Structure 1
Amino acid sequence: MPFSTTMVGGTSKAFVNDIDARWIMAYAAGLGDTTPSYIDTESNIVIGHPMFPVCLEWPAIMDCANIPGSESITSDERTRDVHAAHDLHIHRAIRAGDKLTTSATIVGISKIGPGIAQTIRIDTIAGDGELVCRTYQLGIKRGVDIIGEPTFVEETPALPILPEIMDRGYQYSIPLAKEAAHVYTECARIWNPIHTDRAVALAAGLPDTILHGTATMALAVSEIVNHCLAGDSTRVTRVGGRFRAMVLLPSTITVDIHSVDKTLITYTVHTDTGKPAINQGFVCYH
Structure 2
Amino acid sequence: MPIDVAKALAAEPRTTPISWGHKDVQLYHLGLGAGVPATDPDELRYTLESRLHVLPSFATVAGAGLAMAGGLSAPGVEVDLAAVLHGGQSVRVHRPIPVDGEATQTSRVQAVYDKGKAAVIVLRSEAFDADGPLWTSDSSIFVRGEGGFGGDRGPSERLEVPSTAPQFTVVRPIKEEQALLYRLSGDWNPLHADPGFAKLAGFERPILHGLCSYGMALKAVVDTVLGGDVTRVTSYGTRFAGVVFPGETLRIRMWTGEGRTQVTVTAAERDDAPVLADTVVTHS
The bucket for the TM-score relative to the shorter chain is: 0.7 to 0.9
Partner residue, 2:28? 27
Question: 1:30 and 1:65 mapped to 2: Cα distance?
Answer: 25
Alignment counterpart, residue 62 of structure 2, candidates 56, 59, 77: 56
Partner residue, 2:16? 15
Structure 2 residue identity aligned to 1:79: A
Structure 1 residue identity aligned to 2:55: H
Give the secondary structure class of the aligned counterpart of 2:33. Answer: coil
Question: 1:179 and 1:261 mapped to 2: Cα distance?
Answer: 35
The aligned runs of 1:183-194 (5 Å cut-off) are 183-186=181-184, 188-194=185-191
Partner residue, 2:40? none
Shift of 1:13: 3.2
In the TM superposition, what whole-angstrom CA distance separates every residue of 1:62-116 from its partner, at most 9, and x where no partner exists? 0223322234x3xxx2122111111210111211231112222111112214411
Alignment counterpart, residue 47 of structure 2, candidates 39, 43, 57: 39
Cα RMSD for the two superposed structures = 2.6
Alignment counterpart, residue 263 of structure 2, candidates 264, 267, 275: 267
Please state if 1:206 is matched with 2:212. no
Instruction: Give me the TM-score of the superposition, normalised by structure 2.
Output: 0.86
Partner residue, 2:87? 84
In the TM superposition, what whole-angstrom CA distance separates every residue of 1:25-48 from its partner, at most 9, and x where no partner exists? 111122222433333333x4x332
Question: 2:82 and 2:261 mapped to 1: Cα distance?
Answer: 34
Question: 1:234 and 1:253 mapped to 2: Cα distance?
Answer: 24
Please state if 1:127 is matched with 2:127. no
Q: In 2 relative to 1, CA 160–209 (structure 1 residues): closer, same or farther, beyond 3 Å?
A: closer
Partner residue, 2:38? none
Please state if 1:69 is matched with 2:76. yes
Question: 2:107 and 2:190 mapped to 1: Cα distance?
Answer: 21
Structure 2 residue identity aligned to 1:33: A
Question: 1:79 and 1:228 mapped to 2: Cα distance?
Answer: 38
Give the secondary structure class of the aligned counterpart of 1:79. Answer: helix
Question: 1:285 and 1:162 mapped to 2: Cα distance?
Answer: 20
In the TM superposition, what whole-angstrom CA distance separates every residue of 1:256-283 from its partner, at most 9, and x where no partner exists? 11x2113011110001211110112111
In 2, are the aligned partners of 1:265 and 1:284 still within 8 Å (CA)? yes
Q: In 2 relative to 1, CA 3–220 (structure 1 residues): closer, same or farther, beyond 3 Å?
A: same
Please state if 1:116 is matched with 2:124. no
In 2, are the aligned partners of 1:11 and 1:64 still within 8 Å (CA)? no
Q: In 2 relative to 1, CA 104–160 (structure 1 residues): closer, same or farther, beyond 3 Å?
A: farther
Q: In 2 relative to 1, CA 108–20 (structure 1 residues): closer, same or farther, beyond 3 Å?
A: same
Shift of 1:166: 2.2
Shift of 1:242: 1.0
Partner residue, 2:236? 239
Instruction: Give me the TM-score of the superposition, normalised by structure 1.
Output: 0.85
In 1, are the aligned partners of 2:32 and 2:216 still within 8 Å (CA)? yes
In the TM superposition, what whole-angstrom CA distance separates every residue of 1:207-262 from its partner, at most 9, and x where no partner exists? 332111111011111111111111111111111111111112221111111x2113
Structure 2 residue identity aligned to 1:206: F
In the TM superposition, what whole-angstrom CA distance separates every residue of 1:106-146 from its partner, at most 9, and x where no partner exists? 11112214411111111111134x11010122111112246
Give the secondary structure class of the aligned counterpart of 1:281. Answer: strand
Give the secondary structure class of the aligned counterpart of 2:224. Answer: helix
In 2, are the aligned partners of 1:108 and 1:150 still within 8 Å (CA)? no
Q: In 2 relative to 1, CA 160–265 (structure 1 residues): closer, same or farther, beyond 3 Å?
A: farther
Give the secondary structure class of the aligned counterpart of 2:57. Answer: coil
Structure 1 residue identity aligned to 2:168: Y
In 1, are the aligned partners of 2:123 and 2:140 still within 8 Å (CA)? yes
Structure 2 residue identity aligned to 1:234: T
Aligned residues: 273
Structure 1 residue identity aligned to 2:68: I
Q: In 2 relative to 1, CA 172–202 (structure 1 residues): closer, same or farther, beyond 3 Å?
A: same
